[in-house]
Chains A and B, each alone.
Chain A
Amino acid sequence: MKLTDSRDIRAEPGIVWQAILDPEVLKACIPGCQSMVGSVADGYEAVVKQKVGPVSATFTGLVHLTDIVAPKSIRISGEGKGGVAGFAKGGANVTLEPIPEGTRLSYDVEASVGGKIAQLGSRIIDGFAKKMADDFFTRFQDAVESPEEEPEPTVAEGEADSGADAPKKGWFKRLIG
Chain B
Amino acid sequence: MPKDHGIGAASKRREDVRFLTGKGVYTDDMNIAGQAHAVMVRSNVAHGRIVSVGTAAAEGMPGVLAVFTGEDFAAVGGNPAGWLINSRDGTPMREPKRPVLAHGKVRHVGDAYAAVIAETYQQAKDAAQAIADASVIEELAAVVNMADAVANASNRVHDEIPDNLCFDWGWIEDNRAKVDEAIKNAPHVTTLELVNNRLVPNAMEPRASIGEYSPGTGDYKLTTTSQNPHLTRLLVAAFVMGIPENKLQVVAPDVGGGFGSKIYHYGEEALVLAAAKKLARPVRWTAERSESFLTDAHGRDHVTKIELASDKEGNFIAFRTETLANVGAYLSNFSTATPTFLHGTLMSGPYKVPNVYVNVKTVFTNTAPVDAYRGAGRPEATYSLERVIDKMCRELGLDPFEVRRKNLLTPDQFPYQSPVGLMYDTGNYQATLDKVMEMADVTGFEARRAASAAKGRLRGMGLSTWIEACGIAPSNLVGVLGSRVGLYDAATVRVNATGNLSVMVGAHSHGQGHETVFAQIVADKLGVPESSVEIVHGDTARIPFGMGSYGSRSLAVCGTAMDKALDKIIAKGKKIAAHMLEAAEGDITFGDGKFSVAGTDKAKTFGEIAFSAYVPHNYPLETLEPGLEETAFYDPANFTYPAGAYICEVEVDEGTGKVDVVAFHCADDFGNIMNPMIVEGQVHGGVGQGIGQALLEFTTYDENGQLLTGSYMDYPMPRAEDVPFYNVDYSCQTPCTHNPLGVKGCGEAGAIGSPPAVVNAVIDALQRGGHTHVTHIDMPVSPSRVWTAMNA
Q: Which residues of A contact B (CB under 8 A)?
A: 54, 81, 83-84, 86-87, 112-116, 118-120, 122-123
Name the residue among A81, A86, A115 with the largest chain B CB count within 10 angstroms: A115
CA distance A66 to B531 in the complex (A): 77
Contacts of A86 in B (CB 8 A): 44
Q: Which of B109, B129, B702, B713 contacts A112 (CB 8 A)?
A: B702
Name the residue among B44, B109, B713 with the largest chain A CB count within 10 angstroms: B44
Q: Contact residue range for chain B? A: 20 to 34
Q: A119-B710, A122-B709, A123-B714 are in contact. Are A112 and B704 (CB under 8 A)?
A: yes
CA distance A115 to B133 in the complex (A): 13
Rounded to whole Å, the gap between the CB of B74 and the closest CB of chain A is 26
Q: Please tell me if the beta carbons of A123 and B713 are within 8 angstroms of each other in the complex.
A: yes
Rounded to whole Å, the gap between the CB of A54 and the closest CB of chain B is 8
CA distance A87 to B293 in the complex (A): 19
Q: Which of B45, B133, B707 contacts A119 (CB 8 A)?
A: B707
Q: Please tell me if the beta carbons of A114 and B710 are within 8 angstroms of each other in the complex.
A: no
CA distance A100 to B526 in the complex (A): 99
Q: Please tell me if the beta carbons of A116 and B702 are within 8 angstroms of each other in the complex.
A: no
Q: Which of B45, B109, B132, B714 contacts A122 (CB 8 A)?
A: B714
Contacts of B714 in A (CB 8 A): 120, 122-123
B residues 695-745 in Cβ contact with A at 8 Å: 700, 702, 704, 706-711, 713-714
Contacts of B44 in A (CB 8 A): 86-87, 114-115
Closest to B42 in A: A115
Rounded to whole Å, the gap between the CB of B437 and the closest CB of chain A is 42
Q: Please tell me if the beta carbons of B290 and A114 are within 8 angstroms of each other in the complex.
A: no
Contacts of A119 in B (CB 8 A): 290, 293-294, 706-711
Rounded to whole Å, the gap between the CB of B104 and the closest CB of chain A is 20
Q: Which of B133, B702, B704 contacts A81 (CB 8 A)?
A: B133
Known contacts A112-B704, A119-B708, then 7 further A-B pairs from the complex at CB < 8 Å, ordered by chain A residue: A112-B702, A114-B706, A115-B44, A116-B290, A118-B109, A118-B702, A119-B707
Q: Please tell me if the beta carbons of A114 and B45 are within 8 angstroms of each other in the complex.
A: yes
Q: Return the 6 tightest CB-CB contacts between A and B, nearest first.
A: A119-B710, A122-B708, A115-B44, A118-B706, A114-B44, A114-B706
Q: Please tell me if the beta carbons of A115 and B109 are within 8 angstroms of each other in the complex.
A: yes
Rounded to whole Å, the gap between the CB of B712 and the closest CB of chain A is 10
Q: Which of A84, A114, A120 contacts B704 (CB 8 A)?
A: A114
Q: Please tell me if the beta carbons of B713 and A118 are within 8 angstroms of each other in the complex.
A: no
Contacts of A84 in B (CB 8 A): 129
CA distance A76 to B275 in the complex (A): 45
CA distance A116 to B293 in the complex (A): 11
CA distance A115 to B132 in the complex (A): 12
Contacts of A115 in B (CB 8 A): 44, 109, 706
CA distance A114 to B702 in the complex (A): 10
CA distance A116 to B290 in the complex (A): 8
Closest to B710 in A: A119
Contacts of B290 in A (CB 8 A): 116, 119
Closest to B711 in A: A120
The 8 A CB mask of B170-185 against A (1 = contact, 0 = none) is 0000000000000000
CA distance A86 to B109 in the complex (A): 11
Q: Please tell me if the beta carbons of A118 and B129 are within 8 angstroms of each other in the complex.
A: no
Rounded to whole Å, the gap between the CB of B43 and the closest CB of chain A is 9
Q: Please tell me if the beta carbons of B706 and A120 are within 8 angstroms of each other in the complex.
A: no
CA distance A122 to B109 in the complex (A): 15
Name the residue among A114, A118, A119 with the largest chain B CB count within 10 angstroms: A119
Contacts of A81 in B (CB 8 A): 133
Q: Please tell me if the beta carbons of A112 and B706 are within 8 angstroms of each other in the complex.
A: yes
The 8 A CB mask of B61-77 against A (1 = contact, 0 = none) is 00000000000000000
Rounded to whole Å, the gap between the CB of A55 and the closest CB of chain B is 11
Contacts of A122 in B (CB 8 A): 700, 702, 706, 708-710, 714
Q: Please tell me if the beta carbons of A118 and B708 are within 8 angstroms of each other in the complex.
A: yes
CA distance A115 to B711 in the complex (A): 12
Pick 22 A–B contacts, CB within 8 A, sort by A: A54-B713, A83-B129, A84-B129, A87-B44, A112-B702, A114-B44, A114-B45, A114-B109, A115-B109, A115-B706, A116-B290, A118-B109, A118-B706, A118-B708, A118-B710, A119-B711, A120-B710, A120-B711, A120-B714, A122-B709, A123-B713, A123-B714
